[in-house]
């Protein structure tokens, strides 16, 4: 009997050692991540970021480890790669992993609200795994019943929230008004023009190239599109709403000289919702409107907005967006790149106009 107990105890000890070893192996898995080694010049990201290997860290108290399934490519993160300290958040430090939105499952947790297996979206890293504080990184539990997980980046994610907030709240668009959106074939812009239509407005978009403009008018069904790569942009803007009607709301993702062209065509008491300044991100320039006097002459209101400012409204915004998605009234095309190693080529599309819709990197699982 005593010998049997000893053998049983040894067997239990072996199982515990094996379990501990398995747990150790679990947290000793290799991670790949994109490290910021320098401030990129223009769109030359390959000389500034390096794909390196390391060990997946064990979560510390209150932290989680996410096995990333996909990464969101967002133009606004370009500002984080500069050395500007007057942006909407401090620049990311060199020698650290590149940050961005991720979707994945929790594989290790020391946070009671995010147990292992939970599907989440958070500001993690361009990596196989993200070790994050879920509170500080805005981690959100996702409904796994949504068939296309990409929607949590696009229509039901930050792009959807930003588009809805910018048109409805910051732009204060009213039924019957004319809404113009720049970068209208990008992830946020393509949703903003659709939302403007859903709110009863006339929706126009600015995009680069005949194919993008045709997609917006024929596939998405907006009222018209301005091709900034073709002909006289001013004359195209003059055609919006006819000779006697200008623009009531401008949802601006671009800034730069295009803003000057729009300022002189705004209606009195119009609103400009500044969402992004993509023309400035890679060039290092600062948008300086030459036609700024039109703000006074036309009594315009210009307001910038940023998604963290309305994070507390996420549930409400998602509910409205999901209602439109379920009704087939809100669409999003996806530009998908496979493999972490190809992240930089996907990211560059945002600044060269090579994409239509949401740019995503899907990782091998």
Q: How confident is the model at residue 231 (pLDDT cuts 50, 70, 90)?
A: confident
The single-letter DSSP state of residue 93 is P
What mean pLDDT do residues 263-290 have?
Answer: 92
Give residue 308's pLDDT.
Answer: 85
In whole angstroms, what is the distance from residue 208 CA to residue 198 CA? 24
Looking at residue 29, its pLDDT comes to 81
Phi, psi of 39, rounded to the nearest 5 degrees: -80, 120
Q: Is the pLDDT of residue 8 over 70?
A: no
Residue 20's pLDDT is what? 38
Residue 242: predicted pLDDT: 62
User: What is the average pLDDT across 187-198?
Assistant: 98
Gap between the Cα atoms of 152 and 159, Å rounded:
9
**Mean pLDDT, residues 69-76 taken together:** 96
Q: Which helix (H) or strand (E) holds 20?
A: helix 2-27
Mean pLDDT of 245-260: 95
pTM for this model (two decimals): 0.89
Read off the pLDDT of residues 102-138 as tens digits, 9 standing for 90 and up. Answer: 999 999 999 999 999 999 999 999 999 999 999 999 9
Print the SS3 string covering 62-128: CCEEEEEEEEECCHHHHHHHCCCCCCCCCCCCCCCECEEEEEEEEEEECCCCCCCCCEEEEEEECEC
Q: For residue 30, which phi and psi values (nearest 5 degrees)?
A: -75, 140
The predicted-structure confidence for 81-109, as pLDDT tens digits, reads as follows 999 888 888 899 999 999 999 999 999 99
pLDDT at position 236: 95
Q: What CA–CA distance (Å, rounded) separates 25 from 323?
A: 44
Greater confidence, 47 or 243? Answer: 47
């Amino acid at each position: 009997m005593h010998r049997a107990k000893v053998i049983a105890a040894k067997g239990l000890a072996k199982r515990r050692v094996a379990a501990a070893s398995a747990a150790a192996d679990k947290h000793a898995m290799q991670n790949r991540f994109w490290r910021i080694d320098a401030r990129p010049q223009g769109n030359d990201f390959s000389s500034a970021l390096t794909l390196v290997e390391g060990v997946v860290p064990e979560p510390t108290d209150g932290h989680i480890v996410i096995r990333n399934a996909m990464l969101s490519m967002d133009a606004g993160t370009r500002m984080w790669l500069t050395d500007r300290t007057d942006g909407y958040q401090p620049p990311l430090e060199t020698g650290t992993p590149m940050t961005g939105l991720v979707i994945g499952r929790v594989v290790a947790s020391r946070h009671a609200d995010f147990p292992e297996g939970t599907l989440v979206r958070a500001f993690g890293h361009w990596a196989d795994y993200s070790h994050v504080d879920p509170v500080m990184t805005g981690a959100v539990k996702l409904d796994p019943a949504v068939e296309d997980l990409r929607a949590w980046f696009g229509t039901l994610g930050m792009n959807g929230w930003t588009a809805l907030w910018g048109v409805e709240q910051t732009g204060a668009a009213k039924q019957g008004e004319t809404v113009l959106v720049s970068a209208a074939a990008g992830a946020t812009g393509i949703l903003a023009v659709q939302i403007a239509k859903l709110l009863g407005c006339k929706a126009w978009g600015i995009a680069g190239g005949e194919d993008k403009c045709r997609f917006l008018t024929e596939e998405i069904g907006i009222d018209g599109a301005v091709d900034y790569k073709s002909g006289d942009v001013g004359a195209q803007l003059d055609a919006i709403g006819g000779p006697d009607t200008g623009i009531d709301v401008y949802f601006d993702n671009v800034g730069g000289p295009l803003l000057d062209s729009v300022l002189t065509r705004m209606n009195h008491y119009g609103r400009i919702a500044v969402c992004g300044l993509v023309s400035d991100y890679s060039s290092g320039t600062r948008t300086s409107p030459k036609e700024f006097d039109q703000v006074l002459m036309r009594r315009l209101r210009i307001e910038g907005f940023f998604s963290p400012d309305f994070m507390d409204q996420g549930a409400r915004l998602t509910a409205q967006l999901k209602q439109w998605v379920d009704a087939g009234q809100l669409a999003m095309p996806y530009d998908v790149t496979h493999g972490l190693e190809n992240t930089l080529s996907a990211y560059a599309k945002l600044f060269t106009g090579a994409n239509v819709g949401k740019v995503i990197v899907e990782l091998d699982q």
